[in-house]
Amino acid sequence: MSPRMVTPVEIGSVVEPVLRIVWSDGHHSVYGWRSLRLHCPCAACKGEWTVRRHLDPASVPENVRALRIERVGAYALRPVWTDGHSTGIYTFPNLRHEICECDECTARRAAGG
């Protein structure tokens, strides 16, 4: 297993104001529900990788949140959203390294790294 393939050791409850995930590498991630929804990686939201498009934020309710979060095999999570969407499969590396919104990752991204 690659050292970058981290796994969640703790997944926060969907009733909390934000989603929290504690990773096997000790990192504590936090995600706003709506921004997590806007990052949905499925083909309907993001397009195929050859034809990238962006999900229109206006189409996502302000108060969207996950009803539940299902594990997909040993590599991803699939949230079932209150807006009825549930085809987005968020891989662990994507969640951990690309869309984490903790202070550390937000600062690193703002610095261009």
Considering the rule CB under 5 A, would residue 79 count as an interface residue with Zn ion? no
Structure tokens at 106: 């937000």
Alpha-helical regions (H) of 2-65: 33-38, 43-46
Q: Which stretch binds Zn ion (CB under 5 A): 8-16, 18-26, 35-43, 72-80?
A: 35-43
Nearest approach in angstroms of CB 15 to Zn ion is 22
Give how far the C-alpha of residue 88 lies from the chain's centroid of Cα atoms, to the nearest Å.
9
Residue 28, helix vs strand vs coil? strand
Among 38, 42, 76, 89, binds Zn ion (CB under 5 A): 42
Among 40, 60, 66, 77, binds Zn ion (CB under 5 A): 40
Cα–Cα distance between 113 and 102 in angstroms, integer? 15
CA distances from 40 to 3, 25, 48 (A): 25, 24, 12
Q: Which stretch binds Zn ion (CB under 5 A): 17-25, 61-69, 71-79, 99-107?
A: 99-107
Among 6, 81, 88, 92, binds Zn ion (CB under 5 A): 88
Residue 6, helix vs strand vs coil? coil
Considering the rule CB under 5 A, would residue 102 count as an interface residue with Zn ion? yes
Q: Give the binding site for Zn ion (CB under 5 A).
A: 29, 40, 42, 45, 88, 100, 102, 105
